[in-house]
Structure 1
Amino acid sequence: MNASLATPQPVRWCWPVLLGWILLCFASAVPAAWWPPGDWYLALNKPEWHPPTWVFGPVWSTLYVMMAVSAWLVWQQGGFARQRRALTLFLVQLVLNAAWSPLFFGLKQPGVAFAEILLLWLAILATIISFHRIHRLAAWLLVPYIAWVSFAAFLNGTLWQLNP
């Protein structure tokens, strides 16, 4: 095995990789831009505790940066060569994250989106567990993400029940 792939990358190469992780995490928001909430969502019955729309952008921006730093910290422990399983789990949850908006807003299927967000939650949990074995801070950086997705799952389920 190539020793340079199995050891942490030199610091001078890490910052561009961090930028790559940030761009990748923010790229998972592109489907949300293609399928924005729109009139359908505005017309749904929402619970009293539904956050104002302006909250979602800053929350997701913060979470995407934290997710990127988390993946970068794990990547630094040998790159994909040594951390293939953990980073693959991260990428799987990122794809599931990106899939939610088309299901909920695009197809207008809160029930399907609810099932998908439960899969996303499980994928995030698996990623946290995997990251914890490699880099504890990387795992902890994902805790606000799973907390927000937990809230989003509860909200999604509530919207599904309020709007049969």
Structure 2
Amino acid sequence: MSLRRNVVPVVLGAVVGGLGVRPTSRWYRALDKPRWNPPNAVFGPVWTALYALTAYGTARAMERGTAAQVRGIERALWTNMALNAGWCWLFFTAERPRLALAEILALDASTADLLRRLREVDPTAHHLVAPYLAWNSFATALNAEIARRN
């Protein structure tokens, strides 16, 4: 199994998305955020773990799936990581929380689709990647609350 089929999109999503994140910007610091907004220091470790679980989970499923299932997982993963990275740029760089909210809803749907594909091939892979959907759901709620307040 070539790692480029699942590691490359995950690493690119992490790097491109990370370049768009600006938690110390004046704009972000000035936002009215809810008390349940985690400290900035939480995001790096959480995302590192989620990207690692996503890479490993998709690798497991790709090793076990048919050629058609592997192609579907690969397409879903590339789409998902593009949406993941795009959210960072819309929210932090473009400073558009409402537009980012619309985008993260697409990311949530994409993540659910990826999980569905993984579950069909390897339930363990599905369980490994499920925390990613949980965190994205939390991020969606946080994005919605920030958009509402600002």
Fold-level match, TM-score > 0.5?
yes
Instruction: Return the offset for 1:106.
Output: 1.2
Q: Secondary structure at the match of 2:16?
A: helix
Q: Secondary structure at the match of 1:144?
A: helix
Instruction: Return the offset for 1:94.
Output: 1.1
**35, 38, 42: which is aligned to 2:20?**
35
- Paired with 1:129 and 1:21, the residues of 2 have a C-alpha distance of 16
Is the Cα–Cα contact under 8 Å of residues 22 and 65 in structure 1 kept in the other structure?
Answer: no
Measured on the aligned residues, the alpha-carbon RMSD in Å equals 1.8
Is the Cα–Cα contact under 8 Å of residues 74 and 87 in structure 1 kept in the other structure?
Answer: no
Change (3 A) 1:20 1:90: closer
Alignment of 1:12-91 (within 5 A): 14=1, 17=3, 21-37=6-22, 38-78=25-65, 82-91=69-78
Where relative contact order (Cα < 8 A, 6+ residues apart) is larger, the structure is 2
**Counterpart for residue 9 of structure 1:** none
| Paired amino acid for 1:29 | A
**Counterpart for residue 87 of structure 2:** 100
- Paired with 1:63 and 1:121, the residues of 2 have a C-alpha distance of 14
Deviations 1:4-29 (A, max 9, x none): xxxxxxxxxx5x62x87345313212
Instruction: Return the offset for 1:57.
Output: 0.1
**Counterpart for residue 160 of structure 1:** 147
Is the Cα–Cα contact under 8 Å of residues 64 and 121 in structure 2 kept in the other structure?
Answer: yes
Structure 1 spans left out of the alignment, 5+ residues = 1-13
Instruction: Return the offset for 1:150.
Output: 0.2
- Paired with 2:122 and 2:65, the residues of 1 have a C-alpha distance of 12
Alignment of 1:117-156 (within 5 A): 117-156=104-143
Change (3 A) 1:131 1:20: closer
Structure 2 spans left out of the alignment, 5+ residues = none
Is the Cα–Cα contact under 8 Å of residues 69 and 121 in structure 2 kept in the other structure?
Answer: no
Q: Which has the larger displacement, 42-51 or 28-37? A: 28-37
Normalised by the length of structure 2, the TM-score is: 0.90
Larger Rg: 1
Change (3 A) 1:63 1:44: same
Instruction: Return the offset for 1:79.
Output: 7.1
Instruction: Return the offset for 1:85.
Output: 1.4
